[in-house]
Structure 1
Amino acid sequence: MKKVVFVFEDLPVENGNGFSTYNRAFISCVNHEEYSISLIITGSNHQGYIYNPQQVLNCKVSSIKVINALLSTTQFCIPSIKGVLKLFYRKFLKGRVSVGDDKLVKIGRWLTSGERASVANEIKKIKPDVVFVDTIFRSFDFTTLAPDCKTVLIGHDVFFERCASMISNGLKPSPMITPELELGVISQYEDVIAITEHDGAIYQSHHIKNVHVLPSPISRRAFIPAKSKTKDLFYLGSRAHHNVNGLLWFLNNVWPSVLAADPQVTLYVVGSVCELIPKTFSNVKLLGMLDSFSEICDVSAVAINPVLSGSGMKIKTLDYLANGLPCITTELGAEGFRMGSENGPILIANNAEDFSKVLLSLIHDGERLSLLSTEALKLADHFSFDGFKERLGKIL
């Protein structure tokens, strides 16, 4: 039985953010009798003051070690003091922060020397055959590994591209990632996984070897097209800056003209992004984190993804497609799908006027909505777990 270790920043919970959804796909597709899976969690975002990591994960693995914890086993975890303070802040102080003024954007964090040592010690105990590492930020000293242990980077994004995109929008990414820095880290890995063909081509153009393109997979959650009896909208997002920034842009620049044309339209917002959005916008329901958002999708006609900066595949779009929802987004938001055409379920609008025009046209055209809903489900089928599992198997 092969031993496989995944080094993640956070537990990849169900219905989590994009990073979590992608990481969880790897566990799901490796989780069978041929492999023993161990997780090493490096972050300090915890699920409670005392919790069962295996239960939170809801996916059976051999072991889970949370290194930033006072006590950590697969079945039991007590957060560190930092983790407890984070939990307290998120529960009692969320929303008591200003948004939209701060130009400094956190895109990740490097492991501390102590964290790198802890990861290495855990891996020494497990003696794995393969180690998957969640982005360049979780990299550690590979000389501590057994000579025959394969190392695989789960890229998630080309971070120097993301930094360039943010700088062009007047933002200050932290940490700042240059091509030289990122490519230097990536070159240490035997295999590299890119989430889009675009990202894979960038790696290869810089002479990175053994690049594999594995788009995030999704399973259909709807099997008939939306009935188009509603005009309401749906948005899903974490509290990441590009989500907050994009949604606030939509609410301030697009939403007023939508409501002026049709005061009955409602926007449903799901996810931790709700913590940083003011409750002052008319006809906007901030629902927060939900175990399932399928019922909201059932009463929505269209999804939106008004992203203005960043790079890589927007995994929320997969959730939209899997629920039979056409999506209106920017060219940046459509990256990794190549389906931004008039006849496809992903429609492009790069400015406020176009966004409003496309949105209003679509929600008042029930026949076209039904057609695009059908196309959304068809497109979701291209991102199947079977295809993902097959490509992942070749790496293992």
Structure 2
Amino acid sequence: MNILIISQRCPFPPNKGEKIRTFHHLKFLTEQGHNVFLASPYEHDSELPFFATLAEHYCQQISYSRLPHKILRLLRGLLTGKALSIANFYHSTLQKKIDKQLLENSIDVIYCSASSVAEYVFNSEVIQQLIKKPRLVMDFMDVDSDKWSQYAQQTSWPLKYIYQRETTLIACFEKKIANSFEHCILITQAEVDLFKQIHGSQFAIHAIENGLDTSTFYPPPSSRERQSPRLLFAGVMDYAPNVDAVMWFINQVWPSVIEKWPQATFCIAGMDPVDKIKKLHGLSGIEITGFVEDIKPYFDNANIFVAPFRLARGVQNKVLQAFACGLPVIATPMGAEGVKCRDKQDILTASTPAEFIDCLNILMTDENKYIEISRNALTIIEDHYAWDSVLAPLQKLVTQE
């Protein structure tokens, strides 16, 4: 089959949540024998070699267009009444290239990776002209309208207005997609249930979870030292839920950690840290890495991973990565959401600063519990999160007549 994947970002290298998921979906469909075509906007010329890599190894054809300045895109969204997250990834030049791909390649399936790129489907002048119309599949990943609602609840004017506007517009767009696409996908069943709660139960919504590449993430060769906490958080550090999680932990939990364990360290590893994150570097055992070529050594050097999320949706890839590295995780219930794990057996959950300290104390003083949590988490990855296994339903969706 000929499958056109429309992605809101170049899905290579797979170094952040949405790109990891899109890349592995693309790779899986190629390995299943499908002819995969790709269309994606991009922001920087430094991304062009990544498209070349995808063309060489995975894709029959790739169309891409450089986006105008972000301020212009967002201004266009405001002036036209569009959701900003839709305007942010839309470009008329790429629309023309997508329509050209549709005319020339007898596309059987259009697979949209993220709701924002459905605009390219709705704006296409070609799709309605085709005698054989492609099947439409949407990977929402998360319920974005709920994410924007969470942001609105956590902020004040003027961002509160922007986020409320986004919540309303994205909710309408999600429902339009669900009415127009044959199949829609979310990361977890909890997200499916939330989507149906918001939009109605009549839609064909499926849960296809994230997987984990165990050739990249695996336990270190020697056991971890536990004389004092060496905490790790990993993620893109201009992403609002990541920033919120880290700042909450630093402000609410870290002073008590340092008081109890003066030699403790906290490494925040991830690209594009915002200014308030950068300013933490060097304070009371805190390290801000910025972009790193290889994240694996940071998982090996740490002895506990923290996921203190208060704004989040779906499965956190970083939690799966920690599990695969045999690194015990302390997370808020939201940070553990969607992961096949049991509290106090595979992960420790905490909602308050005092609960985080209690969980840290358990892992630092009880060696048997530390080893049990580590081994159980690794078993979960081995049993449930191999990419080929979790993506088997995707093959059925795209080939379904």
CA distance in 1, matches of 2:263, 2:54: 38
For residues 227-246 of structure 1, the aligned pairs below 5 Å read: 227-230=223-226, 231-238=229-236, 239-246=238-245
Comparing 370-379 with 220-229, greater Cα deviation is found at: 220-229
CA distance in 2, matches of 1:38, 1:47: 21
Aligned residue among 177, 184, 200 for 1:192: 184
Cα distance 1:33–1:253, how it changes in 2: closer, same or farther (>3 A)? closer
8 Å Cα contact 2:233/2:306 also seen in 1: yes
For residues 22-171 of structure 1, the aligned pairs below 5 Å read: 22-32=21-31, 34-47=33-46, 51=49, 53-55=51-53, 59-68=57-66, 82=69, 108-110=85-87, 111-112=89-90, 114=92, 115-139=94-118, 140=120, 141=122, 144-145=126-127, 146=130, 147-170=132-155
Identity of aligned residues (%): 19
Which residue in the other structure is 2:380 paired with? 379
Comparing 332-341 with 368-377, greater Cα deviation is found at: 332-341
TM-superposition CA deviations, 1:261-301 (whole Å, max 9, x none): 11222122211253441225221222222232222211211
TM-superposition CA deviations, 1:74-109 (whole Å, max 9, x none): xxxxxx6749x9xxxxxxxxxxxxxxxxxxxx9833
Deviation for aligned residue 1:170 = 3.1
Which residue in the other structure is 2:80 paired with? none
Which residue in the other structure is 1:388 paired with? 390
Cα distance 1:56–1:252, how it changes in 2: closer, same or farther (>3 A)? farther
Deviation for aligned residue 1:377 = 0.6
CA distance in 1, matches of 2:21, 2:68: 29
The reply to whether residue 360 of structure 1 matches residue 361 of structure 2 is: yes
> Which consecutive residues of structure 2, in runs of 5 or more, have no partner in the other structure?
73-82
For residues 273-284 of structure 1, the aligned pairs below 5 Å read: 274-276=273-275, 277=277, 278=279, 279-284=281-286
Deviation for aligned residue 1:225 = 8.8
> Which consecutive residues of structure 1, in runs of 5 or more, have no partner in the other structure?
69-79, 86-105
Report the TM-score when normalising by structure 2.
0.81
8 Å Cα contact 1:235/1:270 also seen in 2: yes
CA distance in 1, matches of 2:36, 2:15: 20
CA distance in 2, matches of 1:357, 1:34: 51
Deviation for aligned residue 1:255 = 1.1
8 Å Cα contact 1:166/1:310 also seen in 2: no
TM-superposition CA deviations, 1:132-190 (whole Å, max 9, x none): 11222111326632333111001111122212222332363275133444212322111
CA distance in 1, matches of 2:394, 2:338: 19
CA distance in 2, matches of 1:36, 1:208: 32
Which residue in the other structure is 2:79 paired with? none
Aligned residue among 292, 296, 315 for 2:294: 292
Which residue in the other structure is 2:317 paired with? 315
Q: For residue 191 of structure 1, what is the amino acid of its counterpart?
A: H
8 Å Cα contact 2:40/2:65 also seen in 1: yes
Which residue in the other structure is 2:265 paired with? 266
Cα distance 1:5–1:270, how it changes in 2: closer, same or farther (>3 A)? same
Deviation for aligned residue 1:66 = 1.4
Report the TM-score when normalising by structure 1.
0.82
| RMSD of equivalent CA atoms | 2.8
The reply to whether residue 215 of structure 1 matches residue 209 of structure 2 is: yes
Q: For residue 155 of structure 1, what is the amino acid of its counterpart?
A: F
The higher relative CO (CA closer than 8 Å, separation ≥ 6) is in: 1
Q: Aligned residue pairs: how many?
A: 362
8 Å Cα contact 1:14/1:57 also seen in 2: no
Cα distance 1:15–1:51, how it changes in 2: closer, same or farther (>3 A)? closer
CA distance in 2, matches of 1:151, 1:109: 18
Q: For residue 370 of structure 1, what is the amino acid of its counterpart?
A: I
CA distance in 1, matches of 2:221, 2:49: 39
CA distance in 1, matches of 2:305, 2:184: 32
TM-superposition CA deviations, 1:176-235 (whole Å, max 9, x none): 133444212322111111110011223445134332211111133325797231431111
Larger helix fraction of residues = 2
Cα distance 1:226–1:109, how it changes in 2: closer, same or farther (>3 A)? farther
Deviation for aligned residue 1:359 = 2.0
Deviation for aligned residue 1:63 = 2.1
